Amino acid sequence: MDEMDLMKKLSDVPSPSPEAYDRARTALQTAMAEPVNEVVRPKQWFSWPRAGFAAAGAAAVAVAVVMGMTGGSGPSAPSPQAAPPVAESPQVVDSPLVKLASQVKAGGAQPGDASLIINTKFDKNNTPHQYYTIYTDQGRIFTGDSVQNLAATVAKGNAEPASPYHANVMAAAREAANGDVEKARIAMITAAHNVTGLGLSDAEADKAWADAQARIAEDFRKMGKPVPPAKPRPTGKDLENFRNNHLWSNATSALFVGAANAEVRAGVLKLIATIKEAAVGETQIDGQRALTISAGPEIQGGSSSSVLAINADNGLPMRDEITPVGEQRPKWVVNYKSSRVTLADVAAGKI
């Protein structure tokens, strides 16, 4: 059974409370053995026309368990004022990503009041599945699996429930574009929680880790799923990789929702440039020059690698490929197209 088959069988999964969803999503972002990017994006890869954000979260947890993940957990998202005061992060280097970020920022904002991203995932039979996400400049999110469905959702004002997480990652990206990259890096790593202990004392970090595991274990039990075994809190190089895992996941989440916003895009590029293990290369995609950003298993939780391709001229995401360790070909491939739009046009079906 692959993930497409599994997701189709989860219609009977009960939806947890919003608080339980937040903690479950955090668990999938932190100490699971599978890479973050494989499990926190079912909303982008699958259509949920009648299910809310919480139902998608419940399905993601089920996927995590069935795929045999192990690990710990993370606490609920902190309040915005709870950002840690101390950074342990590398300085932004003079990389192609930083140069491209400067060009994107200098280009200024494009007309419109929202970002549209169309993502196309291919299943094991190479059949495309296309989905649409709108992220407005006011922070509202609309989704659909067709132009007609998206237009109807926007026209009715049926936005997804507000999520502090999305507001936090977007704010961190904008901070990186316009202000202090080190401060923005902390904010991005801790956008959902501070289970990595960034800026905390050892005692505080131990308590945060233990509290997080206790909370997430409770959530798994409430959903009738086996509780994954706990892991010890990482230290040393493992801790650095753990934080880079959070930075990569949260920054790319911001990119995959708000890419058409120049500030968000520029900030994400500058933040990813601080991950020294993320290798930058060049390629061609559909006749367009592209930069590839490769995140190996050390950043992806140990069991896969990810290659993100962005347009070399404007930084827009083009393709994301995830390859399990030991395999030669990507198991998950998602293509992206982004543009600035107005909600009025989208509601009228003009995309």
**pLDDT grade for 92, boundaries at 50, 70 and 90:** low
The better pLDDT of the pair 4, 169 is held by: 169
**Per-residue confidence (pLDDT) for residue 4, from 0 to 100:** 34
**Per-residue confidence (pLDDT) for residue 93, from 0 to 100:** 57
Mean pLDDT value of segment 320-349: 94
Q: What is the DSSP letter of 13?
A: P
pLDDT at 34 over 70: no
**Per-residue confidence (pLDDT) for residue 336, from 0 to 100:** 96
**Per-residue confidence (pLDDT) for residue 319, from 0 to 100:** 97
Contact indicator for 313, 265 with CB cutoff of 8 Å: no
Mean pLDDT value of segment 165-188: 96
At 114-161, the pLDDT tens digits run: 999 999 998 778 889 999 999 999 999 999 999 999 999 999 999 998
Instruction: Report the alpha-carbon distance of residue 198 to residue 214 in Å, rounded.
Output: 20
The total of structural domains in the chain comes to 1
Mean pLDDT (the chain) is 78
Mean pLDDT value of segment 94-105: 93
Mean pLDDT value of segment 166-195: 95
Range with the lowest mean pLDDT among 99-103, 160-164, 224-228, 341-345? 160-164
pLDDT exceeding 90 applies to what percent of the chain? 64
**Per-residue confidence (pLDDT) for residue 109, from 0 to 100:** 84
pLDDT at 19 over 50: no
What domain range includes position 20? 3-347
At 194-243, the pLDDT tens digits run: 999 999 999 999 999 999 899 889 999 999 999 988 888 999 999 999 99
What Å distances lie between residue 19 and 80, 107, 159, 160, 216, CA to CA?
17, 40, 19, 15, 11
Instruction: Report the alpha-carbon distance of residue 264 to residue 242 in Å, rounded.
Output: 23
Instruction: Report the alpha-carbon distance of residue 1 to residue 283 in Å, rounded.
Output: 33
At 52-72, the pLDDT tens digits run: 333 333 333 333 332 223 333
- Tokens 């507000």 belong to 162
pLDDT at 41 over 80: no
> Which residues fall within 8 angstroms of residue 195, CB to CB, at 6 or more apart?
26, 30, 31, 72, 73, 74, 75, 208, 209, 212
Instruction: Give the tokens for residue 74.
Output: 């993370």
114-122: strand order across its sheet: 141-144, 128-136, 114-122, 332-341, 317-324, 304-311, 288-295, 279-285
pLDDT at 25 over 60: no
